[in-house]
Amino acid sequence: MAKGMKRMSQELKPKLVYYAGNKLLEGPVWDDKANVLYFVSIADNIIYRFDEETTEIESYPTNGPVGAAVLNEDGQLISAEKEGIYSINPETKERTFLLQANKDERMRYNDGKMDPKGRFLIGTMGYEEVIEGAAKLFVVEDDDVKEILSDMSIANGLGWSKDGQTFYHIDTPTNKVRAFDYNLDTAELSNERVVVEITDGGSPDGMCVDVDENIWVAEYGGKRICKWDTKTVEQLVDIPMPVSNITSCCLGGPDKNYLYITTAQEDGEPLSGGLFKVKIR
């Protein structure tokens, strides 16, 4: 396995596709209809829309640090910002305040995604420092907010199995990816178990689930992104990155054959804070 994994890693070469000196890029989301990529620059209070074919990039200013921006079924951006959750029209940039799920001023929003039923799941973390046990994971549906996970430190990467009945989630300082049974009707979680544990230096940050039901986990401080089989708990692919702090990833391209990868700055690493992609099939 080690030999095969090494061969695969050598074939998968990350390519820098966007760089503007951002401190902390996060949350890539592929728009299937427009063939563009959305991602956020948390510290710069900006959502980006990037058309790689034309190299055009559009900016959407936010009210404070933006943890995640996702697309709903109507093609609107749902943006989780320090001052609340907003709906943004990607074409007109018209903004509509929806609600504030997080009532703790010490916290900001972090990673979030739409579930298979169109509900927004969004986590939190400390705004100025990590606050152990204070992070939460919320479900937002219309005007309703429900807390489904608590007692975490950094609520981070999340994703679902193809049938939507298994939910994966990362609380970064635990170095673990947990799985839960996911009730599609109520968004309730049960049957918690650990499916991946990172033990070699990096910390799990963002993640995505691929078409084969494997998960790709970005390792902050680990200088790599890895694919895992959640049934066998086997590491299938290890992609070395040219920077240390790998923050998140998503599948993209018309055939979902690319992995888009966001990163954060690190002193002495000139490409850190850039957006990369790698062809995975």
- Catalytic residue of the set 205, 212, 229, 255: 205
Question: Backbone phi, then psi, for 190, in 5-degree steps?
Answer: -155, 170
Check residue 104 and give its pLDDT. 96
Return the closest-CA partner of residue 217 out of 262, 180, 195, 249.
249
Specify the DSSP class assigned to residue 130: -
Check residue 254 and give its pLDDT. 85
Check residue 1 and give its pLDDT. 39
For residue 248, pLDDT beyond 60: yes
Give the C-alpha distances (Å, rounded to integers) separating 112 from 73, 108, 135, 181, 197: 15, 12, 13, 18, 21
Q: Is 235 exposed, middle or buried (0-12, 13-18, 19+ CB in 10 A)?
A: middle
Percentage of the chain exceeding pLDDT 70:
96
Query: Which sign does the torsion angle of CA 79, 80, 81, 87 carry?
Result: positive
Determine contact, residues 230/221, Cβ cutoff 8 Å: no
Residues 33-43 have a mean pLDDT of: 96
Check residue 12 and give its pLDDT. 85
Determine contact, residues 137/121, Cβ cutoff 8 Å: yes
Residue given tokens 């998503």 in the structure block: 250
For residue 3, pLDDT beyond 60: no
**CB atoms < 10 A from the CB of 4, how many?**
10
For residue 47, pLDDT beyond 70: yes
For residue 204, pLDDT beyond 80: yes
Check residue 9 and give its pLDDT. 53
Please list, in sequence order, all residues whose beta carbon lies within 8 angstroms of the beta carbon of residue 74, skipping any fewer than 6 positions away.
none
Element (H, E) at 5: helix 2-11
Residues 185-199 have a mean pLDDT of: 96
Instruction: Please tell me the distance from the alpha carbon of residue 30 to that of residue 246, in angstroms, as a whole number.
Output: 18
For residue 222, pLDDT beyond 70: yes
Q: What is the pLDDT of residues 49-86, one digit of tens each?
A: 999 999 999 999 999 999 999 999 999 999 999 999 99
In this prediction, residue 4 has a pLDDT band, given cuts at 50, 70 and 90, of very low
Mean per-residue pLDDT over the chain, rounded: 94
Check residue 281 and give its pLDDT. 86
Instruction: Please tell me the distance from the alpha carbon of residue 150 to that of residue 136, in angstroms, as a whole number.
Output: 4
Check residue 148 and give its pLDDT. 98
205 is catalytic: yes
